[in-house]
């Protein structure tokens, strides 16, 4: 059994804590220096684009508020091997008659414009951007006629050395995905009750192949996932049963349907899908129990749709655990989500599974105060560092936070401590997170604690604090920002309690 401790090393509140939490930011990790770019298209108020750049330790190194006479919506960012971070904004005009988009890069000195479309030639909005290398970019989005509230068609355009080289227009209402295989650039669009997948020659823009998927039988817009390497599309029911269908250029390939796990009015359903390099499929979903609780169901399917293994991750019977966010890095599947607590809060969990056999390799739980609810919104991985973007909601805060976890799959020396209450003792750390030298540990009236150890997330003992008989409070003398574990020992040198604290 893998013990659950918090591997959180740092946490930052994004956009000064005043961004609109109804509009989800996006973030990317630079392949050049590990810097993290976070962008929020809604901004703090109208007509402001907010971008924040953090170094690999989540220290802010650049930010930019771009005020414009027209609304500029930052629609997508991507990592670039030469520029680090590249993004695209779309600018809407009256009745969509003169829409235009801009491609930009972002670094320590702020944003740099790479290309602006000409609204006098065609009214365009870009919703997707993809970097092939440091000289070649692709953008895709919608085209509009004069005084038309909805798009006339969709487009895909190639740029080399900041100059457009070819553009192709296709019938459609909305771009779902822009991706690439080794040979082709691929576009997935919605047109009426169909999904259309087009593959183009990267050099010329000539169409190489295409296929359509009928989605008219779905009550709601399905979840769509792509495996670009083989040009495979998976379609999952968003609000119905745990079911997924696979399509390629030859049409329907296979389907997988898992029966309901319990007799309950709630419906088991898929929340996220990932692919490994061989085309194996990893479904992350939710299952319900007869005790009104829920858990996370993780299933590995072969490229032909055969079940390879299945794992469940759940909480106490009457509590709920759920997730819609997973990511693969190397030979590990990472899953993050929320679980309810006895006092009504939502705490974050992060788990790592082996792709090969589904073994649970590591587990992290970051508890929240009973009045606060954390919700995972996005997940990224770089080496052994896992970044989770989420929201924290409570009586006095509603904000986006970015959390960094040091998550090597080799257990550390403190992994045998699984909860803040081990042998009847309890620690209360406040405030948490705390500024330097401001955190304190409160002990119970009849405690048997002899001393405390302050341990860094890497397992190094930073300090040891003696507790006098009857002492009920002690200050944590830590000055370096990061996440720490406070471990309490009795006079027999046995660990009797633990708690996590974040120093900012």
What DSSP letter does each residue of 84-113 carry, written as one string? Answer: EEEEEEEE--GGGTT-EEEEEEEETTEEEE
Q: Are 263 and 248 in contact (CB under 8 A)?
A: no
> Of the candidates 342, 372, 406, which is a domain's last residue?
406
Q: If we measure between CA atoms, which residue out of 256, 266, 338 comes closest to residue 300?
A: 256
Do residues 399 and 470 share a domain? no
Q: If we measure between CA atoms, which residue out of 266, 219, 267 comes closest to residue 241?
A: 267
Q: What is the DSSP letter of 397?
A: E
Measured distance CA(361)–CA(351) in Å, rounded: 8
Do residues 213 and 114 share a domain? yes
pLDDT at position 481 = 80
Is residue 82 classed as helix, strand or coil in its secondary structure?
coil
315 found inside a domain = yes
C-alpha distance across the termini of the chain, in Å:
32
355 found inside a domain = yes
pLDDT at position 272 = 95
Strand ranges (E), 26-162 = 26-29, 36-40, 48-54, 60-67, 72-80, 84-91, 100-107, 110-116, 123-133, 136-144, 153-160
pLDDT at position 379 = 95
Do residues 323 and 370 share a domain? yes
Q: Are 116 and 124 in contact (CB under 8 A)?
A: no
pLDDT at position 370 = 74
CATH value at residue 476: 2.60.40.10
How many residues are recorded in the chain? Answer: 504
Do residues 445 and 363 share a domain? no
Is residue 16 classed as helix, strand or coil in its secondary structure?
helix
Range of the domain at 190: 8-406
420 found inside a domain = no
Q: Residue 285: which residues within 8 A CB-CB, separation 6 or more? A: 242, 268, 269, 270, 271, 272, 296, 297, 298, 299
421 found inside a domain = no
> Of the candidates 374, 406, 438, which is a domain's last residue?
406
Measured distance CA(12)–CA(392) in Å, rounded: 12
Measured distance CA(174)–CA(192) in Å, rounded: 10
Total domains present in the chain: 2
- Rounded to 10 degrees, the C-alpha dihedral 234/237/242/246 comes to -20
pLDDT at position 414 = 37
CATH value at residue 330: 2.130.10.10
Do residues 290 and 169 share a domain? yes
Q: Are 6 and 404 in contact (CB under 8 A)?
A: no
pLDDT at position 66 = 59
Do residues 401 and 473 share a domain? no
Which residue numbers in the chain have pLDDT < 50?
1-3, 43-47, 67-70, 411-421
422 found inside a domain = no
Which residues is 233 bridged to in the sheet? 226, 247
Do residues 210 and 116 share a domain? yes
What DSSP letter does each residue of 343-362 carry, written as one string? Answer: TS-EEEEEEEEETTT--EEE
Do residues 371 and 464 share a domain? no
Do residues 335 and 483 share a domain? no
Q: The tokens 């100059």 sit on which residue?
A: 163
Do residues 400 and 464 share a domain? no
Measured distance CA(224)–CA(388) in Å, rounded: 22
Q: If we measure between CA atoms, which residue out of 306, 285, 301, 176 comes closest to residue 237?
A: 285
418 found inside a domain = no
108 found inside a domain = yes
Do residues 108 and 41 share a domain? yes
Compute CA 493 distance to the chain's CA centroid, rounded to the nearest angstrom.
40
412 found inside a domain = no
Q: Are 240 and 222 in contact (CB under 8 A)?
A: no
Do residues 386 and 443 share a domain? no
Cis peptide upstream of residue 399 (ω within 30 degrees of 0) = no
Q: If we measure between CA atoms, which residue out of 40, 22, 38 comes closest to residue 30?
A: 38
């Amino acid at each position: 059994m893998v013990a659950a401790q918090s591997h959180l090393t740092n946490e930052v509140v994004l956009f000064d804590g005043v961004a609109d939490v109804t509009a989800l930011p996006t973030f990317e990790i630079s392949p050049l220096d590990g810097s993290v770019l976070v962008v929020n298209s809604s901004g703090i108020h109208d007509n402001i684009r907010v971008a924040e750049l953090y170094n690999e330790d989540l220290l802010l190194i650049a930010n930019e508020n771009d005020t414009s006479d027209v609304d500029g919506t930052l629609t997508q960012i991507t990592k670039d091997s030469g520029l680090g971070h590249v993004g695209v904004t779309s600018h809407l005009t009256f009745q969509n008659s003169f829409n235009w988009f801009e491609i930009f890069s972002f670094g320590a000195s702020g944003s740099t414009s790479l290309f602006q479309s000409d609204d006098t030639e065609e009214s365009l909005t870009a919703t997707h951007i993809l970097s092939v290398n440091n000289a070649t970019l692709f953008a895709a989005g919608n085209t509009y006629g004069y005084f038309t509230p909805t798009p006339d068609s969709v487009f895909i355009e190639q740029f080399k050395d900041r100059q457009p080289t070819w553009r192709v227009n296709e019938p459609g209402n909305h771009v779902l995905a822009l991706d690439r295989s080794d040979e082709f650039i691929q576009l997935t669009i919605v047109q009426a009750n169909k999904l259309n997948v087009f593959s183009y020659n990267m050099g010329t823009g000539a169409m190489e192949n295409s296929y359509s998927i009928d989605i008219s039988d779905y009550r709601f817009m399905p979840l769509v996932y792509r495996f670009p390497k083989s040009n495979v599309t998976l379609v999952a029911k968003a609000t119905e049963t745990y079911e997924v269908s696979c399509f390629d250029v030859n049409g329907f390939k296979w389907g997988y349907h898992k029966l309901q796990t319990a007799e309950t009015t709630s419906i088991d359903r898929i929340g996220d899908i990932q692919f490994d390099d061989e085309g194996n499929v990893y479904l992350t979903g939710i299952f319900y129990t007869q005790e009104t609780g829920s858990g996370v169901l993780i299933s590995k399917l072969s490229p032909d749709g055969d079940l390879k293994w299945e794992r469940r991750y759940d909480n106490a019977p009457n509590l709920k655990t759920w997730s819609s966010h997973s990511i693969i890095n190397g030979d590990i599947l990472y899953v993050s989500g929320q679980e309810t607590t006895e006092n009504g809060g939502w705490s974050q969990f992060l788990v790592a599974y082996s792709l090969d056999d589904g073994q649970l390799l590591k587990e992290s739980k970051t508890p929240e105060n009973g009045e606060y609810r954390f919700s995972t919104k996005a997940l990224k991985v770089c080496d052994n560092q896992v970044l989770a973007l989420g929201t924290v909601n409570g009586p006095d805060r509603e904000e986006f936070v970015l959390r960094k976890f040091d998550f090597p799959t080799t257990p550390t020396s403190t992994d045998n401590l699984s909860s803040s209450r081990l042998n009847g003792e309890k620690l209360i750390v406040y405030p948490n997170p705390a500024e330097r030298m401001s955190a304190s540990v409160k002990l119970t009236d009849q405690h048997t604690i002899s001393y405390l150890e302050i341990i860094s997330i890497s397992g190094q003992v930073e300090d040891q604090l003696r507790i006098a008989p009857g002492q009920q409070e002690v200050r944590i003398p830590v000055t370096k920002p990061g996440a720490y574990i406070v471990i309490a020992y009795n006079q027999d040198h046995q660990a009797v309690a633990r708690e996590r604290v974040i120093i900012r």
